[in-house]
Chain A
Amino acid sequence: MPRVHIPAPARDLTGGEVELELEATSVRRLIGALDERFPGFADRVLEDGELKPGLRVAVDGHVSAMGLLAQLEPGSQVHFLLAIGGG
């Protein structure tokens, strides 16, 4: 199962859980599964059904260009990160 890293500010919802394994084949489904288990999670990361402006999803350490559409493999590691602007 993919593993998702819960950002520290959202751990109030997960009872302090930092990393979870959840059955999901895409980031969108993963968020749905998280919200089902921890109601309110989706509101923290989504706005009008899309990732909040500036929020990014990293799969296996790489910020995915696909966002919610990114496909997950059984061993995928998922992180929520903010966009980073370079100079």
Chain B
Amino acid sequence: MATVEDRQFRVEPFPGGTPGNQRLVEEGRLPDYDVVGTRPIRHDGTDKVTGRARYGADIKLSGLLQGYVLRSPHAHARIVSIDTSKAAEVPGVHAVCTNADMPSADHRAGDLGEGIVDWYHLNQNVLANDKVLYTGHAVAAVAADSVHIAEEAARLIEVEYEVLPPVLDVREARGADAPVLNDDVRTDLQPAGETGDTPTNVAKHFHYEKGDVDAGFAAAELVIEREFTTETVHQGYIEPHTATAFWSPDGKITVWTSTQGSFMIRMQVAELLDVPISKVKVVPMEIGGGFGGKIAVYLQPVAAVLSKLSGRPVKLNMDRSNVFDATGPTPGSYMKVKIGVDAEGKITAGEAELLFEAGAFPGSPINPGCMCVFACYDVPNGRIDGYDICVNKPRTNAYRAPGSTHVALATETIVDEICEAQGICPVEFRLKNAVKEGDERVDGVTYPPVGMWETIKAVELSDHWQSPLEGPNRGRGIASGFWFNFGGNSVVAATVNEDGTVSLIEGSTDIGGSRASVAMQLAEILGIAAEDVTPTVVDTDSIGHTDVTGGSRTCHATGLAAIKAAEDIQAQLCQRAAMLWDVESEQVEYGDGATLTGPEGKTISFQEIAGKLTQTGGPVVGRGSVNADKHGGAFGTHIADVEVDPDTGKVQVLRYTVVQDVGTAIHPSYVEGQMQGGAAQGIGWALNEEYHYGDDGRLHNASFLDYRIPTCYDLPDIETIIVEVPNPGHPFGVRGVGEVPIVPPPAAMANAIFRATGVRMRSLPMSPPKVLHELLSSDG
């Protein structure tokens, strides 16, 4: 078999896109599908462009009360007492609750599929009764006839605090003198290590080691070690968190909410309220963005408790400042990374020390950070230590490829420094060091077939890379990134309708077009049009357990479930045709063009047999249930052209290209959209996004005015090159797309800024004051 280097590639427009939407094609290898790879109108699209789609806050119920959550003004304090009596007396108030109205929780670990949660910590995060650990930490809630009455009443709740000093920086928080946030936290050495015995803010220490690190560095011709910092950033979804709950007299709780995973909400609500999961029904509304931030519960259990106390349905909405103050941003970090290379530019060793903010309670994405830091390259010797450290900020949560963006800043800028020092082209260096099938990561896992090398090849062949960048103060940078993607539990049920269409129900909430990509996979198998499938996202009583829409798993795993459901339909229809023709079902084949063929040239179309279900045994329902474990990791490489204003330090993005291996693009428009959207978030993280805290631990920029996500006037067109190295674990080769594109931008931008100015930025965000400071320092 020819080595990858001998294969012939070209970059060309991806059919149906704009000129900026391209793909890498290998000569002689083009996928051949009817539906996969086309761009149908998404099924939920009309509702969403006409305002008819119902999002979390859009639910209306008779007798609905509105609630308001009272939040801590302090970053760190012990709650001495809470007196709600005055609030309860306000006319129009129907219920007031505190943590005391929830069942008490103990320190047990709950497994949410993609991670674990300590139920006591979650209970305290939802409504604190012991300590408040960040400004905005919820302490009480009111339900009333209107949100205005609820707010006025909540202001009458008297909370006595014993204010404690806050700690906001990871390096300070792990020091011996730091105030300890949670006296139950001990350092847990993982994987498979021992647990410490003294109270600390350092909740976890991950340690990975491979080969002989010292020998690896000794063999290096060049060793570069650098320190990096990043600030806390938020996912910034446009829809604030919202939850509506009704606790029926029969003990059944119904929760209407916007979430990435209705079954995860069900599990958390059931556990926190100490009711069986069968008593909780979660109705997922349309979700206005999540990016990892809408998995944990905040308002849902509180709304349920208020409903129980009032006997009425209760709606709780966060406002934007609540979202910034008190949901789950992704951590700020401190990182020290060292890489050695030999004279030929091959990496000989890597070492990393990574400190991530957990926020108020343990649980930062430090472990994936550890596993991603050297994931793009063949690193023969490596040592990685990562620490999960509590600080007085909101409990952090996943944000798109959690942990990977941080570490890519470190690794990818050091790689760029190595290229500069050794006079190697950054593309050549990456082609030489890129991981391939069979390479082993520092954590010991060996790669199946992956497309890192192909993304670099696509960069090399791209118009962007081949077009010279001219002009003063301009520079071009590239950077790569990795994410594991995920499989997990998904269920699809698909009913064949008499008119030859299929109604598909699924448990995956649709954040970015997954109804379409799941329906398309079913349509491809059945040989029908995507438009002939009607996908619907249903509640937790109506379908089997389906994991979150996150981790780039939905198109892969729910897609697999849809494929299985389609195959189930095929098998059942073959039986029905056999009955019609009086032959054995083994003699019937479900062939191309949605046609069933039998002996002696008998044929019947899908449409025709769909009309004959009643007389052949009744309706046909295809069933697909998976716990997928053959997901394929994915790589992306981005090219950024920037211009830096030498007098202000302001960085403008001139041109930007996202190259990514997605396995197979089911709906290229939404694949491109994920690549573009992830890149835009990464550019925001790179340039301006950060939580600004005062020394007192108060967040100063809890608004979209001063938490500066990019506007459309800040960004150029974002070009895309889809690379399709199929995942052998999926019939169409789907890997997943959503996570990876946020990973490379900060490093790509930092490298571009260096090429424009000669200044290396090692601290995010690379905001004008910081860039200008470096420019002025380097001049003199």
Contacts and interface: CB of A to CB of B under 8 A. Distances in A.
B109 A7 contact: no
Contact of A86 (B110, B114, B206, B627): B114
Nearest to A65: B627
Q: Considering residues A18, A54, A64, A87, which has the most beta carbons from chain B within 10 angstroms of its beta carbon? A: A87
Nearest to B444: A5
Most chain B C-beta atoms within 10 Å of own C-beta, residue among A10, A41, A45: A10
Interface in B587-642: 627-631
A85 B550 contact: yes
Given A9-B191, A83-B115, A62 B729 contact: yes
Nearest to B738: A87
B211 to A, nearest CB: 9
B629 A80 contact: no
Given A7-B191, A55-B191, A62-B629, A83 B551 contact: no
A8 interface: yes
Interface string B542-578: 0000001011110000000000000000000000000
B324 interface: no
Contacts of A54: 109, 111, 115-116
A5 B190 CA distance: 14
B111 A7 contact: no
Given A65-B629, A82-B190, A8 B485 contact: no
B260 to A, nearest CB: 9
A81 B365 CA distance: 14
A86 B483 contact: yes
Contacts of B193: 7, 9-10, 44
Contacts of A68: none
Interface stretch (B33-41, B52-60, B73-81, B399-407): B399-407
A75 interface: no
A28 to B, nearest CB: 16
Given A45-B192, A54-B111, A85-B398, A61 B208 contact: no
B249 interface: no
Interface stretch (B303-311, B428-436, B445-453): B445-453
Interface string B199-231: 000000011111000000000000000000000
A87 B445 contact: no
B445 to A, nearest CB: 6
B12 interface: no
Interface string B466-487: 0000000000000000011111
Contact of B448 (A53, A61, A83): A61
Contacts of B293: 87
Interface string A14-30: 00001000000000000
Nearest to B626: A65
Contact of B485 (A41, A55, A81, A86): A86
Nearest to A4: B444
A55 B204 CA distance: 13
Contacts of B192: 6-7, 9-10, 41, 44-45, 55, 80
B292 interface: yes
Contact of A84 (B399, B448, B484, B630): B484
User: From DSSP, what is the main secondary structure of chain B's interface residues?
Assistant: loop
Interface string A52-71: 01110010111111000000
Contacts of A44: 192-194
B401 A81 contact: no
B445 A61 contact: yes
Nearest to A84: B368
Nearest to B114: A85
B189 interface: yes
B739 interface: yes
B196 to A, nearest CB: 12
B682 to A, nearest CB: 12
A74 to B, nearest CB: 17
A86 B194 contact: no
A6 B444 CA distance: 9
Nearest to A52: B109
Contact of A53 (B116, B548, B627, B738): B116
A60 B291 CA distance: 29
Contacts of A64: 629
Contacts of B44: none
B401 A86 contact: yes
Interface in B62-89: none
Interface string B349-370: 0000000000000000101100
Contacts of B292: 85-87
Contact of B629 (A5, A63, A77, A85): A63
B774 interface: no
Contact of B550 (A9, A60, A87): A87
B113 interface: yes
Counting chain B CB atoms within 10 Å of each CB, the highest count among A7, A58, A81, A85 belongs to A85
A82 B367 CA distance: 7
Contact of B486 (A18, A58, A80, A86): A86
B460 interface: no
The 7 closest A-B CB pairs, nearest first, are A86-B551, A87-B292, A9-B193, A53-B109, A85-B114, A85-B115, A87-B400
Interface of A: 5-11, 18, 41, 44-45, 53-55, 58, 60-65, 77, 79-87
